[in-house]
Amino acid sequence: MNNPRVKIKETQILSDNWYTLNKVIFDYQNPDGTWETQAREAYDRGNGAAILLYNKEQGTVILTRQFRLPTYINGNDDGMMIEACAGLLDKDNPEDCIRKETEEETGYKISTVQKAFEAYMSPGSVTEILYFFVAEYDNSMKVSEGGGLEEEQENIEVLELAFNDALAMIDSGEIKDGKTIMLLQYAKIHELL
């Protein structure tokens, strides 16, 4: 935090039930040199990682489908979302995190991952940086059925889709998850498949 135009005055915890919701009061220097006090809420859920598994030979990708309550209460009729495998870093580095999440969620044990990029996903209200990866997979890497961890109440369906079908699902609205759209477009732009 090295911006001389920002002086944080106070941070109040509004909720720490699931993750932490803070209200931050700060002084901000406008371009004309004047200072004003502002207040914003910022949700801190930690940083995360996401991955697109792809099989160049088969022309397929591995995605997941699971229920997402926030989408359900915001108009997604059944609350189900098709997504790239992802998870919070907790105390892991991004590469270790995504290897672990990949095995838990998809059942594929991968060793080599390639970082694609990183991005703030909702910078107006959430502190999270998401680290994006891609990795090749094949059937020899399948070590379990995946599905997530029971103790985390995960109920994840693993999908193997033709890459072109997955791209078409963006246009049809079947895929509406931002991280997944970004990874599929990355794969298209970089001609991974």
Give the mean model confidence (pLDDT) for residues 35-39.
97
Q: Is the pLDDT of residue 71 over 90?
A: yes
Closest CA to 63 of 154, 177, 152, 173: 177
Task: With a cut of 70, say whether residue 153 has pLDDT above it.
Answer: no
Q: Mean pLDDT across the chain, nearest whole number?
A: 94
**Domain annotation for the chain: domains and CATH numbers:** 6-44 (no CATH), 48-189 (3.90.79.10)
Q: What is the dihedral of CA 28, 29, 31, 34, to 10 degrees?
A: 120
Nearest 10 degrees: CA dihedral of 17, 67, 84, 16? Answer: 0
Q: Is the pLDDT of residue 114 over 70?
A: yes
How many Cβ atoms sit within 10 Å of the Cβ of residue 125?
10
Has residue 152 got a pLDDT over 70?
no
pLDDT range class, residue 149, cuts 50, 70, 90: low
pTM above 0.85?
yes
**Strand ranges for the chain from DSSP E:** 6-15, 20-29, 35-44, 48-55, 60-67, 80-83, 85-88, 114-120, 129-136, 157-162
> Is pLDDT above 90 for 146?
no
